[in-house]
Structure 1
Amino acid sequence: MDARYELRDHTADVAVAAFGPALDSVFGALGDGLSAAQCDEIPADGERFSFSLAAEGREALLFDYLDQLIYERDVRAVLPADNEVSVNPGEEWRLEASARGVPLAEVEAREVKAVTYSEMRIEEGEDGWEAYVVLDV
């Protein structure tokens, strides 16, 4: 089973739910969901970029990851797409991530202002991982 995401309505905001066999793939699917919340059709071009993060727990790492994607969007003027993530749990949670940066000039994008901790959850179940995040639009 590959990871997948779903956009869900959430009062004045939008939520992304992701499901996958591994935590890595769920993080990446949430990144793709963040992109989909901003743009209906994502062109196939763009150069890959990467970054690393560390946090005290998996929820904090997820928040920081999605927040970093918004930062990269703003600084690089790109829509991060085709997100790939490697999550390394431990005393300090770490991740290595990369995304394809689609130039914002090539897409009609809606603004996602921020990631919220509101209703955020990451859970491991019998069929893999599930996560849910609300985005401030």
Structure 2
Amino acid sequence: MAGIKALVGLSFGGAIGLMFLMLACSLPNYNSYWPLFVLIFYVLSPLPHCIARRCTEETDTASSACREFTLFLTTGIVISGFGLPLILARAEVIEWGACGLVLTGNAVIFVTIFAFFLIFGRSDDFGWQPW
């Protein structure tokens, strides 16, 4: 039952983050759909971790080069997700208010993705391990 509550909480967090992103795109003051390109970073951010988890076995004693490279790629993707709205706002493609909404949505979505891997990433009896 705890896994279901966590999954519902994570889906609520994802919905709130996407709501901020949609508000940044569709409010009449902003009316620009350029911030939707951040969705690419939402999809790309968990990929290095998932690929590395399939290729290497999990060891708690030491850090491997594959794991460090995975963290480096994930960090670059997340920072790019925060940097894109700032660059678009600086270039005056989007308004600064829309940039603030996108950055808020980014924070919520990336924390939700991180929480998903914290909750369901360890080996337990829930059954998300084969994914």
TM norm structure 1? 0.30
TM norm structure 2? 0.31
Q: Which has the higher contact order (CA 8 A, sep 6+)?
A: 2
- Select the structure of larger CA radius of gyration: 2
Greater percentage in strand: 1
Greater percentage in helix: 2
